[in-house]
Amino acid sequence: MTSDLIQIVSILAAAIAVSFGAIGPALAEGRAVAAAMDAIARQPEAAGTLSRTLFVGLAMIETMAIYTLVIALLVLFANPFV
């Protein structure tokens, strides 16, 4: 009974973690890409450097969303209380 309750709460917690954890990185990635597009439009000859920096920056931002995903997986599959 208690174990069932913990599993229900875990699934809820995982869903909430991923959904809210995706908001911040989504907004941040949108801003970063918009800024990079702006910069490339102003200075097309710097497109190579800009896109490389953009990719690395996006990977950094994306890590935040991945952290929540990993925490959700820990809660679902490696929960110490189940």
Partner 1 sequence: MENPLSMHALFHIGPVPITEPVVVTWGIMLFLGLGSAWATRRLTMVPGKLQAVLEMFVTVIDDQIRDTMQRDPSPFRVLIGTIFLYVFIANSSAIIPGIEPPTAMIETDAALALIVLAATIFYGIRYQGLRGYLSAFAEPSWVMIPLNVIEQITRTFSLIVRLFGNVMSGVFVVGIILSLAGFLVPIPLMALDLLTGTVQAYIFAILATVFIGAAMGEH
User: Is residue 81 helix, strand or coil?
Assistant: coil
**73 binds partner 1, rule: CB under 8 A:** yes
Identify which range of 3-11, 20-28, 30-38, 72-80 contacts partner 1 by CB under 8 A.
72-80
Q: Could you write out the DSSP letters of every residue in 45-73?
A: GGHHHHHHHHHHHHHHHHHHHHHHHHHHH
Residue of 49, 51, 81, 82 interacting with partner 1 (CB under 8 A): 49
Q: Which of 58, 19, 10 is nearest to 35 (CA)?
A: 58
Q: What residue ranges bind partner 1 (CB under 8 A)?
A: 48-49, 52, 55-56, 59-60, 62-63, 66-67, 69-70, 73-74, 77-78
